[in-house]
A and B are shown apart, each in its own frame.
Chain A
Amino acid sequence: MALAPLNEDVTFDQLTLDPYPIYHRMRRETPVVRVPSVHRTFLVKFSDTKMVKDDPVLFSSNDPRTPMQPAFRAHTLMRKDGAEHLAERKAMNPALTPKVISAEWAPLYEKLAAEYLDRLPKDGPCDLFEALCGPLAARILAHILGIPEATDEQMMRWSQNLIDGSGNFAWRDGPFEITDKANDEMDALFDKLVERCRATPDASALSVMVNADDPIPMSQIYSNIKIAIGGGINEPRDALATMIFGLLTNPGQLEEVRAQDAWGKAFEETVRWVAPIQASSRLVTEDTQIRGYDIPKGDTVMTIQASSNRDEEVFGDNSEEFFVFRDKNPHQAFGNGPHHCAGSHTARRTVGKIMGPMLFERFPNMRLPDPAAVKWRGFGFRGPINMPVILG
């Protein structure tokens, strides 16, 4: 057989600015395609991306030689498989279950959301991305993780630094110098907070890991918290911003969401429509084939869940549209397989059940005067980078 076709036209900038028309065409013409500008083989169909994620032996996450290693100064669980991955993941899981979030944390999150809503102007123009989405996501995460002493600014900066470092495939020094500084700051804070967790245990991730009967090594506890910082702010921030856009540009649906209290559905549709994490990489461990094309051992395939989430074969003719009330919504925004997003329950509750409904309740007449003024960015992570609404 042959290798998958090459697409030498698509540039990284195009994928960052507006990937959806590109994916639409790829699904039709080249569902398996090598993209030299990203050095990856793209998989853009629902069944292919699911198959890859569900087979961690053939398609491994285990790759210590990515920029994530220097960025986190650790080989993190994101880049491990099997028993190693499982042990580290299970150590943190108890802090992220629906029960813990509903029983222990929901009242606090509602209080925090109310406080951040109080800070907004009563009416008039406001960029909600900057004023609400980022800071509130950062504050709630700081509490989940057990590091409330970290400021919003620190949380957001560390998160962005870690993301930039992890994506530093050009292996330039600059981003790693920045992540070194962020790691020093985080380590110093965690050192202080570990003692407190031992003295007064609570349901936070740091406390649960530190006080476990058979704890994982402290270095892994720290890197787990860092993974959660790197992967736990952008996603709820972008999901909230995307939900605001989706509902304000579809007022009929917003009205129906309110009437039916269908915020959970609105959240699911939001992350289907524009998945905050759009793509993931997997290392191919044996020569294999996908859709009849040879995929050699050592190749890195990229599952484009952003595209799978709009696959016409699964989501029908309106797959490109934001439509909350679709019959089925088996999106892949949280991934599949052993690396299925550990924060999915947290995201569904904090964004879907708390932040979204509280915002729309507080500002019932909120509107988006110029949807075209909203800028969308990102290939690996994607969302709006501004949300200029009129609040009242």
Chain B
Amino acid sequence: MVKVTYIAADGTETTVEGKTGDSVMHTAVSNDVDGIVGECGGAMMCATCHCYVDEAWTDKTGERQSEEDDMLEGAASEVKANSRLSCQIKLTPDLDGLVVHMPEDQF
């Protein structure tokens, strides 16, 4: 299992355990974490799973893909250097303890 901590815009922290291979979006949605919607189910069509990867983890989560950039153009909240679509971050044992911050709005 891989631990992921989601920090909401109001500071609320939720830590859940995800499975290797699952996405950060899927892990949030299946654990009822508010703040990640993931309406399109990971097809990169809705930009409602936007998150900011905690600065301490950006090296491990890697760069965002160009298609992700296109979709983030449509995100409801501000896009920053550490913005990602959480459906595109797959959990690996290396990411155990990952911290992501959630934007104010997803749509």
**Distance between Cα atoms of A56 and B44 in the complex (Å):** 13
Cβ contact within 8 Å between B40 and A338: yes
Chain B contacts for A53, CB-based, 8 A: 41
**Distance between Cα atoms of A89 and B44 in the complex (Å):** 12
**Distance between Cα atoms of A105 and B2 in the complex (Å):** 43
Given A334-B39, A336-B39, does the pair A99, B73 have CB atoms closer than 8 Å? yes
Chain A contacts for B57, CB-based, 8 A: none
**A258 at the A/B interface (Cβ < 8 Å)?**
no
**A231 at the A/B interface (Cβ < 8 Å)?**
no
Give the interface SS of chain A, mostly helix, strand, loop or mixed. Answer: helix
Chain B contacts for A337, CB-based, 8 A: 40-41, 43, 45
**Distance between Cα atoms of A53 and B41 in the complex (Å):** 9
Interface residue stretch chosen among A90-98, A114-122, A276-284, A295-303:
A90-98
Interface string of B78-107 (1 = CB under 8 A from A): 000000000000000000000000000001
Cβ contact within 8 Å between A336 and B41: yes
The residue from B39, B43, B74 contacting A338, defined by CB atoms under 8 A apart: B43
Cβ contact within 8 Å between B45 and A340: yes
Cβ contact within 8 Å between A54 and B74: no
Smallest distance from the beta carbon of B43 to chain A beta carbons, Å?
4
**A386 at the A/B interface (Cβ < 8 Å)?**
no
In B20-78, the 8 Å CB interface with A consists of: 29, 32, 37, 39-43, 45-47, 70, 73-76
Give the interface SS of chain B, mostly helix, strand, loop or mixed. Answer: loop
Smallest distance from the beta carbon of B67 to chain A beta carbons, Å?
8
Chain A contacts for B70, CB-based, 8 A: 90, 93
**A348 at the A/B interface (Cβ < 8 Å)?**
yes
Given A96-B74, A348-B107, does the pair A338, B32 have CB atoms closer than 8 Å? no
In A331-362, the 8 Å CB interface with B consists of: 334, 336-340, 342, 344-345, 348
Residue in chain A with minimal CB distance to B76: A98
Q: Number of B interface residues, CB 8 Å?
A: 17
Chain B contacts for A40, CB-based, 8 A: none
Chain A contacts for B47, CB-based, 8 A: 97
Smallest distance from the beta carbon of A249 to chain B beta carbons, Å?
26
In A82-138, the 8 Å CB interface with B consists of: 89-90, 93-94, 96-99
Q: Number of A interface residues, CB 8 Å?
A: 24
Residue in chain B with minimal CB distance to A56: B43
Cβ contact within 8 Å between B43 and A54: yes
**Distance between Cα atoms of A93 and B75 in the complex (Å):** 12
Chain A contacts for B43, CB-based, 8 A: 54, 56, 336-338, 340
**A50 at the A/B interface (Cβ < 8 Å)?**
yes
Residue in chain B with minimal CB distance to A100: B74
In A37-70, the 8 Å CB interface with B consists of: 50, 53-54, 56
**A328 at the A/B interface (Cβ < 8 Å)?**
yes
Given A93-B70, A345-B107, does the pair A98, B75 have CB atoms closer than 8 Å? yes
Residue in chain B with minimal CB distance to A339: B45
Cβ contact within 8 Å between B39 and A344: yes
Q: List 30 A-B contacts (CB under 8 A).
A: A50-B41, A53-B41, A54-B42, A54-B43, A56-B43, A90-B70, A94-B73, A94-B74, A96-B74, A97-B47, A97-B74, A97-B75, A98-B75, A98-B76, A98-B107, A99-B73, A99-B74, A99-B76, A328-B32, A334-B39, A336-B39, A338-B45, A339-B45, A340-B40, A340-B41, A342-B45, A344-B46, A345-B76, A345-B107, A348-B107
Chain B residues proximal to chain A, CB less than 8 Å:
29, 32, 37, 39-43, 45-47, 70, 73-76, 107
